[in-house]
Structure 1
Amino acid sequence: MQRVFLLFLAAALTCCAPGRFTTSTLRPAALTAHRTVAILPFDVEQNRIQLSDIRFPGADTTLTAQQRIRQEWTAKQQWEGRHVAYRLQELFYDQLQAQKPTRGYTVQFQEVRETNRLLQQAGITYENLPDKSLEEVRQALGVDAILSGETLLFQPLPNGVGLAARILLNEPLLGNQSIIPASEATTSLTLYDCRENQLAWRLDFQRTGNNALKPERLAENLVRAALPNFPYSRK
């Protein structure tokens, strides 16, 4: 019975708290003129501690060994972040279709595969994309607007370890009254008008809980938060 209770608590602690978000429409006139929109790979930064990252350092406790372990962890975070970036790009596109309003959209979203093919053809990679100007990306994709996302995934403790830590610290097992920070996904979606090279719309989104870090859940939540004030939802 105690084991079942602990499993229930673990599930409760990993659930997502309600998300917080704000939207801003900056250039409504420009948005109404758009007909084609491309979704870029997200810019993802990870700061996550997972069970696979916790290991015995061995006999070598020198500064060099510690730096090597840190470098390996950083490289892993970057590699996983790149994978998540393309997953979020694809999943966001899929969720736009899955949650399409009854009257549809006023624009055509370029298929992700075509977007990435055109970027590759122009020599634009995930690594050098932040250094490219909006005009360079527009010329490569041939669209009226570009939607991009910046995401930070923060996880201070591996799944399940947070529950054990609360027990050891004699903290309340439910609720947010803890000295241990919660896992959190923070995303900013930005929509740029290619004709005037200016920001036209923005969504800032934040949600806590381990489930919020899953790309599938994050993409679904982002589209759900965006749609009520999405400039391309047909009225």
Structure 2
Amino acid sequence: MIRYLLLVSLLFLGFTVDAQKNIYESASFDDLTDDHQILAILPFITQLELEQSPGEELKSLTEREAYAVQNALETYFSIRKKKKKFNVDFQETKETNRILKEKGIDYTNLDVYSTKELSKILGVDGIISGSLDLNVLLSKGVSTEFSFFDYFRGDANYGRIGIKIADGDTGKLLWKYEKAITKKTGKNTTELIDKMMKAASRKFPYDKEKKRRKNN
């Protein structure tokens, strides 16, 4: 009986995880990205809900989380790129942020500009951006101690993240990946991105192995 209940619980958790993950790829991806060589990673548009945080402090913390995701993605792509896993390069985030700053663009007004405008300003073929909704400071680190009953109390959920890639010339959405952030997805931003992207690696559109499988 105990084994049966354990099996049911594991299946339930598995279905929950699968339901929380959603990957979209444009049917026109290959045509739109045939000449893509370099992508830029932007800070994520972030919504941070924290108790007992004054307005200015919350604004500063929100911006920190936005850049933490940008840095974590750069770290992930850099490591994988060294292993020749991708068929595109990624602009260094320091260079991305420097160019944006020169043009008077920062986190506070980033969402005013279109993908086409940002791609032209940055001199890249596509843009990696996204959204982040959090009720904790993920960059600071969170508890990963997990209990099955956390799901029922709501203590397992820290928010949600969405990563998207858009074509620079047309501004069209090429790829999107959404996932809930829980105690099981990582203890900080770097671990979250690493686990999240590894789980989606076989479906990441610029992955060389994926392209090879598609052509065979």
Change (3 A) 1:99 1:106: closer
| Counterpart residue identity of residue 126, structure 1 | Y
2:91 is the counterpart of 1:89 = no
* 2:126 alignment partner in structure 1: 145
Give the alignment's TM-score, normalised by structure 2: 0.74
Q: Which has the higher contact order (CA 8 A, sep 6+)?
A: 1
- 1:38 Cα deviation (Å)? 0.3
**How is 1:113-132 mapped onto 2 (pairs within 5 angstroms)?**
113-132=94-113
Structure 1: runs of 5 or more not aligned? 1-16, 54-71, 164-172
Q: Distance in 2 between matches of 1:188 and 1:44?
A: 10
Per the TM alignment, residue 107 of structure 1 is displaced from its structure 2 partner at its CA by 0.5
Name stretches of at least 5 consecutive residues in structure 2 with no aligned partner: 1-15, 137-141, 210-216
- The residue number in structure 1 matching 2:170 is 196
Q: Which residue of 2 aligns with 1:47?
A: 49
TM-score by length of 1: 0.69
The total of aligned residue pairs comes to 184
In structure 2, relative to structure 1, the CA distance for the partners of 1:174 and 1:108 (3 Å cut) is closer
Tell me how far apart the structure 2 counterparts of residues 219 and 34 of structure 1 sit (CA, whole Å).
23
Look up the SS of the partner of 1:32 in the other structure.
coil
1:63 — aligned with what? Answer: none
Q: Distance in 2 between matches of 1:210 and 1:184?
A: 10
Q: Does the 8 Å CA contact 1:144/1:194 hold for their aligned counterparts?
A: yes
The 3-state SS of whatever aligns with 1:97 is helix
- Residue 95 of structure 2 aligns to which amino acid in structure 1? E
CA distance in 1, matches of 2:151, 2:178: 25
How big is the shift at 1:208? Answer: 1.2
2:198 corresponds in structure 1 to 224
Distance in 1 (CA, whole Å) between partners of 2:111 and 2:135 is 21
Q: Deviations over 1:50-96 (max 9, x none)?
A: xxx4xxxxxxxxxxxxxxxxxx5343222111011112111111111
Q: Which position in structure 2 is the counterpart of 1:4? A: none
How does 1:1-235 map onto structure 2 within 5 Å? 20-26=20-26, 27-28=28-29, 29-49=31-51, 53=52, 73-100=54-81, 102-155=83-136, 174-176=148-150, 178-209=152-183, 212=186, 214-235=188-209
Q: Do the aligned partners of residues 136 and 114 (structure 1) sit closer, same or farther apart at CA in structure 2, a change above 3 Å counting?
A: same
Query: In structure 1, what is the Cα distance between the partners aligned to 2:151 and 2:197?
Result: 30
Distance change (3 Å), C-alpha of 1:124 and 1:21: same
Separation in 1 of the partners of 2:79 and 2:89?
15
Could you say which residue in structure 2 is the equivalent of 1:10? none
CA distance in 2, matches of 1:35, 1:204: 25
Residue 197 of structure 1, CA deviation: 1.5
1:225/1:78 CA distance change after superposition, 3 Å: farther
- Name which one, 1 or 2, has greater alpha-carbon Rg: 1
How much is the aligned-residue C-alpha RMSD, in angstroms?
A: 2.6
Alignment partners' CA distance in 1, 2:187 and 2:111: 23
